[in-house]
Structure 1
Amino acid sequence: MALLDHPKNVEDLSGEKGFQWKFHCDICSNGFDTTFVSSRSAASTRRLGFLGRGLEIAGGMAGSSALWGAGQAADAAGQFRNMSAEWHKEHDNAFTQGVNEAKVHFKKCPKCKLYVCSEDWNDEAGLCTNDAPALVTELQAAKAQTRVEQMREHVKTQTLYDGDMTERMTLCSTCGKPSGSGKFCQNCGSPLGYRECPNCHHQNPTTVAFCGECGTKL
């Protein structure tokens, strides 16, 4: 029952109709669902009074307290406080069955004591992948990282743009769309030149009759 020394690695999915648990890998949290076991006493389950409920929980959860530890037993007691004593006995028996079913899907790391799934277990080292990462996987990851670093260094040495950095996108004053770099708008054909105001020397679009800066007639 050592697997159950870790309260966080098991999720109780049981309900009035039956019992089921989900055991999680301590590294990746992938889960294994145990086989659902129907409750024979489900039809006779009834709500209990405060005193009777307390007595039944104390008796019914005694076994699971020994298996799960005080913290998890208390959680289950709160979750299933309305179930009958018979239901709790079934729950304990089904839990033992579920543990035996789940055990084959997990390995306990002798170094860190984590319970892990097959994907997080290094068979060659006999340890979890946290303590003994797979060498092939680490090698490929290191190669990929090195390639990325070398690519970045190579890009830094390249001249990727040699155009005019002062060039800006011009919007046509007639249609409002990008006009292009010619003398006429590439969308509507309007002239793109500017008329200098004789008074303030402000550059005005050729389509206006008065200076936008001082109002002088152009």
Structure 2
Amino acid sequence: MSEFSRMPRYDIRNDGAGPYAIFYCDMCGREFRSQPNFGGAVAQDLGRQAVSGLLRKVPLVGSVAANNLVGEDPRYSMKMDNNQLNAAWQQVQQHFRECPTCQRIVCLSDFDVQSGYCQEDSPRTDEIAESRGAQAGAAIKGLASAFGLGEAFQGMGENIRSAVNTAQTAANQMARCPQDGTLANAGTKFCPNCGTPMVQPTAAICPACGTETKGAKFCPNCGAKQEAAQPSGKCPKCGTDAKGAKFCPECGTKIA
């Protein structure tokens, strides 16, 4: 395990057995607690009581000296010196790692051990997010199966995918504002939100019979399979003719 450049955030607590430290993950705030030195607190308390009892028997100054010696009871102290704090940090270090990029000290749940970086700075960010999504999906499916809802869950997923495809098809048939993305009915010349000239949808025409297919894979009139239209060379964002360029000369958008 690599060395740490500092300690993470911490608090000092005491539940009646001596002070201990709570260290927090810099990313998620998860806490890890050290153990109080219960044996040391008891031994120190017994020694203080014995010395205090002896001093109290000394005439005149005995009680004053005893009170000054006793001071704060270690069993209820909310203070730790540097040595005690370092010892507490040593107890919980195995649960933390320090990211070399952002210098945050995070718990193992927020650290990508394979790459050696926190999960936000890891080069495997997309892979981690995909893995988390797969785990969450598996957990939901497992829960649904446990309650006999597996088939219903699968049907719901198919309905969601169908709804997304339908919405996407409808959006492709509408005029779109290249400035703010506002959608409007085909034929709308200016954006109702900002007044920018709208980019009109390109009608999908069957090459066999000339029927408008509205994005269907097969012509609703003759059944001919519809091949994907080749790029027109126009910018999909602002409609400028790119004249074969890979990027729009007007707004810089990549031309498919």
Same fold, TM-score > 0.5, yes or no: no
Q: TM-score per shorter chain, which class?
A: 0.3 to 0.5
What is the TM-score normalised by the length of structure 2?
Answer: 0.36
Q: Which has the higher contact order (CA 8 A, sep 6+)?
A: 1
Larger radius of gyration: 1
